[in-house]
Amino acid sequence: MTRRHISNVSVGLAALAVACARGATAPVETLTATIKPPVQATVKCATIQLTVAVRSSGGNEIAPDSVKWTSSDPATATISASGLMRALKAPAGVTITAVAYVASRQLTASALISIGEPLLYPPPTCAAG
């Protein structure tokens, strides 16, 4: 690195320090969360392992510190703490929501999933868990 480049970096850091001292804040990077795989439909008694993908505005994937999963109707579909969804009732629809925590930020992603009867006779019976 040449002396000129070092000088430019020093000037940039000094300007940032002055801006922060005046109460300005650095721009906050935009993060998005999505549920993977992108499931829209499944059948009664099926289980699907869901995960949350968090990406920065630059496209980098970031591992969340933790994730909290919820089901809009646990009688229709359950979701475990690890993201394992089990469809219990059909025909029905359920919203699965994941709240991903990254540093001090909270990101929410939801998926609306339709549940249908499998093409089996007699239809299967399944239990939660």
Print pLDDT tens along the chain (129 aa). Answer: 444 433 333 333 333 444 455 555 656 688 999 999 999 999 999 999 999 999 999 999 999 999 999 999 999 999 999 999 999 999 999 999 999 999 989 999 999 999 999 887 776 778 655
Domains and CATH numbers, the chain: 29-116 (2.60.40.1080)
CA distance 45 to 40: 15
Q: Is residue 36 a contact partner of residue 50, using CB atoms and an 8 Å limit? A: yes
pTM of the complete model: 0.74
What are the C-alpha distances in Å from 64 to residues 102, 104, 111? 5, 11, 18
